[in-house]
Amino acid sequence: MKDSAGIPDATGAAGGSPEPPRDRRRRLLRWTAAGVSLLVLAGAGAGWWLYRKLDANITEDTSAASELERFERERPTAIAGGSQNILLIGSDSRAGADNSRYGRDGGGQRSDTVILLHLPADRRSATAVSIPRDLMTDVPSCLTADGSRTAAQFVQFNWAFQWGGAACTIRTVEKLTGIRIDHHMVMDFGGFKKMVNAVGGVEVCLKQPMNDTEARLHLPAGRQTLRGEQALGFVRARYGQGDGSDTERMDRQQQFLGSLVKKVQSNGVLLNPGRLYPLLDAATSSVTTDAGLASLRGLYELVRGMRDIPTEQVKFLTVPRRPYAANRNRDELVQPDAARLFQRLRADAPLTVAPPTEADGRKADGRKADGREPDGVRAGAGSAEPSPTRTGTAPTPVPTFTGTTAGMAGCR
């Protein structure tokens, strides 16, 4: 006797004779195993399809690679093994439907935002250093889109990206800091909005309303969650709050990025496939990267190394700067503070950050504002580290720079 599916039942095998219980159990196990195998294969096929889709989303910057290879002998050598320095570039390009709504590009794309992200070898912290777009610096001779080359010039920093894209910006940063750039990512306006929307928006708190017509931003004071257009306006706004300086704009960008880090970690996005896929889809379809990061595996390895960093150890600061003497609308580095910061990053040495009110009047090299040596390690002066050149003496303080951490971001 057979059941409706044509499978012998417990009392009759295919030939009409009774089926022993042991044979029936084996038969059921085979059917179960076959069903499970089909599900596994279907899941594996879907997983492979998703992997290929995400992997194909990423755009590789091949032109930057060839240009950097041409000038390899001029580039800094990596000093600290295991650490990584990644240049994050926000482009103000108006190309494409998502970007054209912001008007003309004024003759070419420029770097609206540039952040040097340093990941130490132990991956116990991360330091994001904003480089002002108005900083006056030496930009080397760079290859332009039409195949010509610019002359080396002392100009505004963000001209480097307009003239020679990511490669020119990388070479300019390396010349400025002496730090070898291992990887780079470029994201435009549309890509930024996709990333923010993929995590469900980012919370910010405003002490006063923001109204910036150029950034298309009108926000009331207080706690609010920013998505898409509002989020982009918040990080781009320059004239709707404070003194309208680029420095304050960078402070808001750091505040926003800190809140984004907290959102991703607190919601378990990196450990939840249902939440992780939309973020990966937005990220991979929004960035142009070097060959080392132009794959899902490369991006995953980068994220995996950062996912366990406490928010209190994700640090944000702006390279020490002040108004340029010849033009108050431009910036110049503050020395020796900037040199000390670059040296710490090159050597993969620790540093701390603190808001100006908590820095205890200290300069970034550990001295007080009046130039005297520090009289001990206190709040805002950083922790202590052993002296690399002397033994049997008191440890030297870790330098503190004005900045914030992801743990300080958001509404408290």
Would you state the structure tokens that stand for residue 40, as one six-digit string?
């596994």
What is the distance between the alpha carbons of residues 327 and 94, in angstroms, rounded to a whole number?
Answer: 28
Confirm if 161 and 140 have CB atoms less than 8 A apart: no
Which amino acid, 14?
A
Q: What is the pLDDT of residues 206-235, one digit of tens each?
A: 888 888 877 778 889 899 899 998 999 888
Would you state the structure tokens that stand for residue 328, as one six-digit string?
């108050």
How much is the pTM? 0.78
Helix, strand or coil for residue 97? Answer: helix
Q: Which residues pair with 405 in a beta bridge?
A: 315
Number of Cβ within a 10 Å radius of residue 23: 12
Tell me which architecture the domain covering 61-337 has in CATH.
3-Layer(aba) Sandwich (3.40)
Rg (CA), the chain: 27
Q: What is the pLDDT of residues 266-323, one digit of tens each?
A: 766 766 667 777 878 888 888 899 988 888 788 878 877 787 899 999 999 999 999 9
- Short-list 306, 309, 406, 400, CA closest to 351: 400
- Short-list 222, 223, 219, 220, CA closest to 236: 219
Helix, strand or coil for residue 12? Answer: coil
* Stretch among 251-260, 353-362, 380-389 having the lowest mean pLDDT: 380-389
